[in-house]
Amino acid sequence: MDEQNVNKTAVTELSFKPLHKDPSEINKLIRPSVSFWQDAWYRLRKNKLGMLGIFIVLFMILFGIIAPIVMDRVFHVTYSDQTLAYAYSKPGQNGYLFGADNLGRDVLVRLAYGARISLAVGIAASLVALGIGVVYGTISGYYGGRVDTLMMRVVDIIDSVPSMLYVILLMTVLPRGLTSVFFVIGATSWLSMARLVRGEVLSLKEREFILAAKISGVKTWGIMLRHLIPNAMGPILVSMTMGIPSAIFLESNLSFLGLGISAPMASWGSMASEGIEALRNYPHMIFFPALFISLTILGFNFLGDALRDALDPRMRK
């Protein structure tokens, strides 16, 4: 088309029309301002598998807290009550919803008490690993240089031996009990946490706000506690959540080998160990403990994956 035939419209001040709007609404934002944690919770609620994981975890916690109290006060049944005449009762037989074990003890009641032990071991061991790993990784990443090299070589040496060997060795030396299980599993599970925290600190310590804190005269421990660790809390929470099922599974292996919880106390691992002997004729003795272990680990894995996505700043919109 010839440019001379194109109608050219002059743009003047009269071409614009002012938008009449209430002055009180000018400063209002289209989307309300939310904090990082509020936005993370919003995105976590949108994750269906994450919410399923939260439901499973809460159900197991409430099951471990409420069910033993109800069984004890209402039905007057505890985890050590036994009726030899009803030994190996199948599910639904003789009033046992989940059946009875080789000593006539209610499998459902022992599962409820076992939930307390297994969940307590998972959470306590993760807290121990959290404390050791965060302190170790923060010091290593912040100081860097030879200190970092030496500390990481120690981690590599410890990690070169399977953790199960450390656990078995320590459990044979320490006195049998729940406290020893907490300490042993936590003391052998901090290596991955230390590596994660070290990587986060190496990235964060080069940021401008850390330099500003140094110029302001904030001491080293103040920088670590007030700036580095809080800003790395997202990945730390995800790692801790993913470490809980690992601790539960490790405790189950120990109890299965006879090195975990002592009788008559029950954990899901010890119940599975007792049920393996009667697997062919009475599979319910191992089926229900294995089911609860699997569901709990699955719930924590769903929750950990959802937290990883929700706490990723790159996912914010």
Radius of gyration for the chain, computed over Cα atoms and rounded to the nearest angstrom: 28
Q: Is 6 helix (H, G, I), strand (E, B) or coil?
A: coil
SS3 211: helix
What are the tens digits of pLDDT across the range 257-288? Answer: 777 777 677 888 888 888 888 888 899 999 99
Query: At residue 24, does pLDDT exceed 50?
Result: yes
Taking all residues of the chain, what is their mean pLDDT, rounded to a whole number?
84
- Cβ contact 91:99 at 8 Å: yes
Residue 316 confidence (pLDDT) above 60: no
Task: State the average pLDDT over residues 30-45.
Answer: 77
**Apex CA 294: angle with CA 288 and CA 296, to 5°?**
105
Q: Determine the pLDDT at residue 6.
A: 47
Q: State the burial class of residue 281 (Cβ atoms within 10 Å of its Cβ: 0-12, 13-18, 19+).
A: exposed
What angle do the packed helices 107-143 and 233-257 form, to 10 degrees?
130
What's the pLDDT at 27?
55
The per-residue pLDDT for range 158-216, each reduced to its tens digit, is 888 888 888 888 888 888 777 888 888 888 889 999 999 999 999 888 889 898 988 88
Least Cα distance to 79 among 55, 63, 62, 103 occurs for 103
Residues with Cβ within 8 Å of residue 264, at least 6 apart in sequence? 79, 80
- The predicted pLDDT at position 94 comes to 87
**Band of pLDDT at residue 10, cut at 50, 70 and 90:** low
pLDDT score recorded for residue 20 = 59
Looking at per-residue pLDDT, the higher value among 15 and 4 belongs to 15
Top-confidence residue, 226 or 27:
226
Mean pLDDT of 29-47: 77
- pLDDT at position 198: 93
SS3 245: helix
Between helices 268-275 and 284-310, what is the axis angle to 10°?
Answer: 140
Mean pLDDT over 56-71 rounds to: 92
For position 1, what pLDDT does the model report? 47
Q: How far, rounded to the nearest angstrom, does the alpha carbon of residue 295 sit from its chain's CA centroid?
A: 14
Report percent pLDDT > 90 for the chain: 29
Q: Where do we find the tokens 């700043």?
A: 313
Residue 53: pLDDT over 90? yes
| pLDDT number for residue 175 | 81
Question: pLDDT confidence of 152, banded at 50, 70, 90?
Answer: very high
For residues 105 and 87, give the distance between their C-alpha atoms in angstroms, rounded to a whole number: 7
CB 137 within 8 Å of CB 147: no
Least Cα distance to 251 among 182, 159, 175 occurs for 182
Highest mean pLDDT among 91-95, 102-106, 138-142, 229-233: 138-142
Domains of the chain: 98-312 (1.10.3720.10)
Q: What's residue 58's pLDDT?
A: 95
Residue 194 to residue 69: CA distance in whole angstroms: 39
Cα 71 from Cα 113, distance rounded (Å): 10
Report d(CA 259, CA 252) in Å as an integer: 10
Confidence of residue 237 (pLDDT cuts 50, 70, 90): confident
Question: Where residue 12 falls among pLDDT bands split at 50, 70, 90?
Answer: low
State pLDDT tens for residues 104-137. 899 999 999 989 988 988 888 889 889 999 999 9
